[in-house]
Amino acid sequence: MKIIIVDDESIVLESCRRILESEGYEVASADSVDKALMVIDPENTALLLIDIKMPFRDGIYLVNELKKQGYTIPIILMSGLNTPETIAESQKIGACQFLPKPFTPDELLKAVRQVIT
């Protein structure tokens, strides 16, 4: 089962990949919503780690699109915009957790373990 990271920032994709793979997780990544929709396999995806703010289509759009398609994959939303409104919106659309950026490797691993363990 894979964890798929969706973020438009390559440094976030690579650092999350490195951290998660070092703990034995299988990881895939996408740098846009459109690419994410191509790589998400509901039968082989354990978790989605999605940035909220991205150009063109954002993480909220992706979550809503996945819901329309009937996917029930657990989701952690992340954002550097750590306002009460952003956190409330992530909960409202069904994210399991909200992870504020920047986060430490320990914070990432803790959030992931809470969702998929």
Write the pLDDT tens digit of every residue in 56-98. Answer: 999 999 999 999 999 999 999 999 988 999 999 999 999 999 9
Alpha-helix residue ranges (DSSP H) falling in the chain: 10-22, 33-39, 59-68, 84-92, 105-116
Are 74 and 47 in contact, with CB atoms under 8 Å apart? yes
What percent of the chain has pLDDT above 90?
93
pLDDT of residue 2: 96
Maximum distance among all Cα pairs of the chain, rounded to whole angstroms: 34
pLDDT of residue 1: 84
pLDDT of residue 104: 97
Please give the Cα distance from 117 to 115 (Å, whole number). 6
